[in-house]
Structure 1
């Protein structure tokens, strides 16, 4: 199996293309600095993942920028910190400040020459628009949790993506789902018979950071430590061909 076998790359955005962990830690700094006990970076991220995943299950139709304030409130309660409603809302609007990984814009611009590029993200449309400006590429389709009314890893999100991709002439056998999160992306991709590519951004760190533990690790068909490594592998395959 080669990267050149596929017609479309469907991307998770946050954690894969956008450095959401850095964005979260910076956005939570005024809260985590006041916690009653010292918190490591991973403790902050893991707590965020737990509250975010829980809230997404209970309120699957809530827009991400309206869900994050609830996560912020739950973290403040857990860490024993007083916050105002305005503090919570401000955190919900912070997604547009989350940085892109340094290699994402250039890699996407290169891949655009060879593939349809599609987003399947747990974000809302307004927040993604701000992130898209950082990624500096025009995606061929954008499917958000706001569009679908549920959050990954729900099967509904992948059902929706596959159906809409078929409507633009791309069957699932020609889709390579490209993501960092085992929990949100690779496990449900396995369940839908999609081939997948793991961009292992946390390869130098332990644990799962801002994503939940998926339990049994899913299968992946390709694995790279960065988007740049994915581009290099594609370039090499073109040379061989």
Structure 2
């Protein structure tokens, strides 16, 4: 039986894509560059190209890797092939916005749980994301902290060690994420209870996130963070 929401002590969160709207941030920056170059681009096509370029063998840590990614996708979008535009795309991460429901939901959840960030982003970018969310986290793990990226089990093991030092275990954590590939599948394989936030429920495909080899049915499923926060309130009333 799946544990009830009030039984958890922690909630761990994917950040980019679950709490921070990185797809809109990427598309907005690319469309600004396109407008300056008098070019029209399709946002979903840009995300498809981004996904293919991002998940390559020579990828580096995110979002620094956006410089390389831009140079790879610019020719196919008809955009100027110039490193300074790649740097502009990378630096746009500092201003990426949280989804409209994220900050309020996190503030609500922080009343009852210790919130842990688990992000493949580097620490410099996470600091901006956390500020946009109202700095709700009890602890945070970035690619810089773990030396790896999800879905590597070692990333999750770092979090398990942290909660163990606080006298808890992975069974006390509900892992919350939108990425089937990076989070939902591997969290299930590692024996965690998980919650899928299906941000793209009204859109086709996986957007800027790599498609999983197979779909994992989550323990909990909502289409927004507001939905999760409302369920917690209902379960505790």
Q: Distance in 1 between matches of 2:211 and 2:41?
A: 20
Task: Provide the alpha-carbon RMSD of the alignment.
Answer: 2.0
CA distance in 1, matches of 2:19, 2:92: 16
Map 1:1-241 → 2, pairs under 5 A: 1-31=3-33, 39-54=41-56, 57-59=57-59, 62-239=60-237
Distance 1:120 1:187 in 2: 15
Task: Give the Cα separation in 1 of the matches to 2:229 and 2:175.
Answer: 15
Q: Note closer, same or farther for the CA distance 1:76–1:107 as it changes in structure 2 (3 Å cut).
A: same
Gaps of 5+ in 2: none
State how many pairs are aligned.
Answer: 235
TM-aligned CA deviation for residue 38 of structure 1? 6.3
* Secondary structure, counterpart of 2:151 in structure 1: coil
Kindly state the Cα deviation for residue 5 of structure 1 after the two structures are TM-superposed: 1.5
Q: Following TM superposition, where does structure 1 have runs of at least 4 consecutive aligned residues deviating by more than 6 angstroms?
A: none
Q: TM-score, normalised by structure 1?
A: 0.90
Conserved? CA contact 1:13–1:120, under 8 Å: yes
Check conservation: 1:176, 1:194, Cα contact below 8 A: yes
Q: Distance in 1 between matches of 2:179 and 2:35?
A: 27
- Partner SS, residue 65 of structure 1: coil
The TM-score, its normalising length taken from structure 2, stands at 0.92
- Structure 1 distance, partners of 2:75, 2:43, is 18
Q: Is the 8 A contact 2:106 2:136 kept in 1?
A: no
